[in-house]
Structures are given as structure tokens and as C-alpha cells.
Amino acid sequence: MSIVNNQIEFKELALKIFTRNKKKRIFCLYGGLGAGKTTFTQAIAKALKIEGTVTSPTFNIIKQYKIQSSKIDYKNLYHIDCYRLEDEKEILNLGFRELVEDKASLLIIEWADKINKILPKKRIDVYIKILDNFKREIIVK
């Protein structure tokens, strides 16, 4: 468990968590509205030298980005937001299983609790809790 006092510390921690666990390939983010799930994703996207801004994929559910960094084995980042999903079927129809199997793709999933039933065992779970406007508690499992 870690506590960060502001967004800068949060982004630094996000990068550490990513660096330590990147071989797992699938990052599941949990936490209420405005907890920092998209911010977490943006910190990683920046480190991967992804061009342009990484915005919330809420309305598209899945957004794909090309990874430019030569230091990383993955070719694509898939930023997934399950907030609007009614059930697992919708994301399965969008090719979720294929992405899970694709070794060249890094997956970051916001509101992963919504698709709990179909998440692979090999993954990293990151729980973000709002303590106050700037403070966050982060638990990695």
C-alpha cells in the first residue's frame, strides 16, 4: 500500500508499478470517478512515447495507440474503459479475448471490476482510493 500526496507523485508511482510489472501485460485499474485511472494510463503512455494525448476511452470503450519506444517489447497500447458496459458480451464482441492473447499488446483497463468474470488470471490489479482532493491510496495486487 502506498499513499501519494499529489498528481506528480501519483504519476511517478504509476511508472514504478508499470516498470516492475510490465511482463504481466494486463493492468486492471479500480477506483471511483476521478480516482486517477486515466491519469495512471497517461503516465505510462508518456513513458512509452505515445504521440498525442491519451484521453478517456469511455465512449469508444477501446482505444488503440502505437508504441513508439524501442525500449519496450509491445507494439500497441490498448486503453480500455469498461464504465459504460452493461455486461461482458459487449467487450467480447469487440475482440477482448484476442487482445488478451496478443503478446504484442499492452492492455490498461479502467473499471475492470465490470468485466471481472472474463479477466485473465495473469494480470496486475491496481486499486486507487481517493483520500482527499490530492491524496490517493494505491494498492497493487
The residue within the footprint of ligand ATP, chosen from 25, 37, 114, 123 (CB under 6 A), is 37
The closest alpha carbon to 25, from 95, 130, 121, belongs to 121
Closest CA to 28 of 122, 130, 136, 112: 112
Find the shortest distance in angstroms from Cβ 49 to Mg ion.
21
* Residue from 25, 26, 28, 38 binding ligand ATP (CB under 6 A): 38
Question: In angstroms, what is the minimal distance from the CB of 134 to ligand ATP?
Answer: 4
User: 43-62 mask for ligand ATP (x: CB under 6 A)?
Assistant: -------------x------
> Does 7 help bind ligand ATP (rule: CB under 6 A)?
yes
Q: Which of 97, 122, 134, 139 binds ligand ATP (CB under 6 A)?
A: 134
Confirm or reject binding of residue 63 to ligand ATP (CB under 6 A).
Answer: no
For position 56 contacting Mg ion by CB under 5 A, the verdict is yes
Give 119-141 as a DSSP string.
--SS-EEEEEEE-SSS-EEEEE-
15 φ, ψ (degrees, to nearest 5)? -65, -40
The window from 34-42, 60-68, 88-96, 119-127 that contacts ligand ATP (CB under 6 A) reads 34-42
Dihedral angle of Cα 92, 103, 74, 23, to the nearest 10 degrees = 110
Q: How far is the CB of 103 from Mg ion (least distance, A)?
A: 26
- For the residues of 44-63, what is the DSSP string, one character each? HHHHTT--S-----TTTSEE
Binding residues (CB under 5 A) for Mg ion: these are 37-38, 56, 110
